[in-house]
C-alpha cells in the first residue's frame, strides 16, 4: 500500500507541483486549499502518513492547522512539513515549536524536499 500524503496550499499550481513530486516519490496524494479543508479531509479520510502545508492561506493558516492537528490525539502520528515563503527565523521557530517535523522554504528543489522527507523517516529519493 502506497504512503499517503495531503498537500494543503491555497495555490493550485503549488499543490500540483508538490503532488507531482510526491507522486514520483511513491505517495498517493490528496489536496486541500486551506487549513480548514485540510482538517475536514483528515476527519473524512483518516490520517495520512504526511501533510505538507503552506503558512499563508485564507480561512485557516498553516500554523493554525498545525496547532489544531497537534491538539487532536488521533492525529499524533502524522508527520507535518511546512512548505512556505516565510523565512523569518522567529516564524520558523514558532512553527517548529507548534509541532512541525520539518520546514521547507519556497522556492525549493525536488532534492531539498527529498532530503527533508529522508530526515523525518521517509525513504524518498530525488531520482
Residue-level pLDDT, tens digit, the chain, 127 residues? 689 999 999 999 999 999 999 999 999 999 999 999 999 999 999 999 999 999 999 999 999 999 999 999 999 999 999 999 988 999 889 888 999 999 999 999 999 999 999 999 997 554 4
Going through 1-127 in order, the beta strands assigned E by DSSP cover 3-8, 27-32, 50-53, 79-84, 102-105
Grid cell 507548534 — which residue? 98
d(CA 86, CA 50): 20
Q: Is the pTM of this model over 0.85?
A: yes
Indicate the CATH number of 3-109 among 1.10.760.10, 1.10.3720.10, 3.30.70.2660, 3.40.50.2300.
Answer: 3.40.50.2300
Domain ranges of the chain: 3-109
Amino acid at each position: 500500500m502506497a504512503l499517503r500524503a495531503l498537500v494543503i496550499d491555497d495555490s493550485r499550481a503549488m499543490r500540483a507541483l508538490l503532488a507531482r513530486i510526491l507522486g514520483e516519490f511513491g505517495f498517493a496524494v490528496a489536496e486541500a486549499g486551506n487549513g480548514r479543508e485540510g482538517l475536514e479531509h483528515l476527519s473524512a479520510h483518516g490520517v495520512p502518513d504526511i501533510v505538507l502545508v503552506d503558512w499563508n492561506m485564507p480561512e485557516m493558516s498553516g500554523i493554525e492547522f498545525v496547532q489544531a492537528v497537534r491538539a487532536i490525539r488521533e492525529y499524533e502520528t502524522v508527520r507535518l512539513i511546512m512548505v512556505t515563503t516565510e523565512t523569518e527565523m522567529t516564524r520558523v521557530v514558532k512553527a517548529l515549536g507548534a509541532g512541525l517535523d520539518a520546514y521547507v522554504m519556497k522556492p525549493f528543489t525536488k532534492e531539498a524536499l527529498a532530503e527533508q522527507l529522508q530526515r523525518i523517516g521517509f525513504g524518498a529519493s530525488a531520482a
